[in-house]
Amino acid sequence: MKPVKPTRGQLERQLSQSIQAFYREQLGHQPSKVTCQLFDTKIAIILEDSVTPTEQILNKEGQRELAQQVRSSLDEATRPPLKKLIEEVIGTKILDLLCDATVDTGRTGIIAILADTPDTRPSEKLSKVEPGA
Amino acid sequence: MNANSHHFRQLQTVLFRELKQLYKQQLNQELSQITCRVFEKSLVILLEGTITQPERILAEHQNTNLVKKVRESLDRIIQPQIKNIVENVMPFKVVDILSDTTIENNCTGAIVIFELENYSENVAKLNKTQRQKLGADDGVTPALDPSINKA
């Protein structure tokens, strides 16, 4: 029996959960919210509260530059395993992975450029039945 | 195509023109392609052809650390200007902007996060020039359109 392809929404949700778990495992800090938007051959990912307490305290105590530097280095270090994880979840190669974070807002933004459009099936929307129809 | 998506396309045209001008004026760099997509509370922009000739030469001569440093600085300088352009063109307040560039792929990506709480008020507050830019003078509110566009 052929495995059922996920819908775009299911794939986005699965990716969000995997990314949330990835950051918990890698940095010991779980972002409060991860949003994934798949469009054509691209994925836009937004992570809320992605900055660790270490960076937060540095930033709060006037070491903003250092906090931002730590964040850039963490993004650089987590980039290869994150790329691998996204590729595994969506089943498509990534050509480019762009990543940036702001320590002030704790937000991280990631854009993945894919080699192909992920294989998904159309979502089954319930059709509206008019009363009396 | 409905009126709202028509307005959105007009708005995108202005956005693309301003972004191209920014790179031309600041870095004498011609962007080869701009792609953007609007979601519920964010705008994703992809700019292709952002790497300048000096950076390319540095990269070719293995000055990897220096070229990375230069690009990071350029992105930090350009970022607030992209924010200004988006805020001038679109009726939203920008609360965050995240951007990154890969030198090998000659591509910059930016995610702009909007504050959508005062959307209707913001549209109402647009000055005449902005409304003319958006083609919003006939009272139709520019809306978010999920279509993708390239320049």
Residue B23 has pLDDT above 90, yes or no: yes
Residue of higher predicted confidence among A129 and A60: A60
Stretch among A14-23, A114-123, B5-14, B45-54 having the lowest mean pLDDT: B5-14
> Of A5, A38, A43, A36, which Cα lies nearest the Cα of A19?
A36
Contacts of B42 in chain A (CB under 8 A): 44, 46
Find the CB nearest B46 among A46, A107, A111: A111
- What separation in angstroms does the CA of B15 have from each of A23, B82, B149? 34, 10, 11
pLDDT at B125: 57
* Distance (Å, whole) CA B35 – CA B121: 28
* b/e burial code for range B123-147 (CB count within 10 A of at least 16 → b): beebeeebbebbbbeeeeebebbee
- Positive or negative, the CA dihedral A98, B149, B13, B11 is negative
Residue B7 has pLDDT above 90, yes or no: no
Question: pLDDT for A74-127, tens place per residue?
Answer: 999 999 999 999 999 999 999 999 999 999 999 999 999 999 999 888 877 654
Q: Residue A119's CB: how many other CB atoms inside 10 A?
A: 11
Mean pLDDT for all residues in chain B: 80
Mean pLDDT, range A29-58, rounded to an integer: 94
* Distance (Å, whole) CA A1 – CA A117: 24
Residue A10 has pLDDT above 70, yes or no: yes
pLDDT over 90 percentage in chain A: 81
The tokens for B50 are 């952002």
* Distance (Å, whole) CA B133 – CA B123: 13
* Distance (Å, whole) CA A49 – CA B88: 28
DSSP letter string, A63-120: -HHHHHHHHHHHHHHHHHHHHHHHHHHHTS-EEEEEEEEETTTTEEEEEEEESS----
Mean pLDDT, range B20-36, rounded to an integer: 94
Q: Which of residues 61-120 of B touch A (CB under 8 A)?
A: 72, 95-96, 98-102, 105, 107-111, 113
For domain A13-114, the question of CATH label 3.30.980 is answered with yes
pLDDT at A131: 47
Cα of A1 to nearest chain B Cα, Å:
35
Q: A4 pLDDT band (50/70/90 cuts)?
A: confident
By C-alpha distance, the chain A residue nearest B147 is A39
Mean pLDDT, range A17-39, rounded to an integer: 95
Find the CB nearest A96 among B98, B102, B111: B102
DSSP letter string, A11-45: HHHHHHHHHHHHHHHHHS---SEEEEEEETTEEEE
Q: Which residues contact B123 (CB under 8 A, 6 or more apart)?
A: B91, B136, B141, B142
Mean pLDDT, range B69-96, rounded to an integer: 92
* Distance (Å, whole) CA B151 – CA B148: 10
Domain residue limits, chain A: 13-114
Q: B92 pLDDT band (50/70/90 cuts)?
A: confident
Mean pLDDT, range B80-87, rounded to an integer: 94
Q: B4 pLDDT band (50/70/90 cuts)?
A: low
Question: pLDDT for B111-141, tens place per residue?
Answer: 999 997 765 565 555 555 554 544 433 333 3
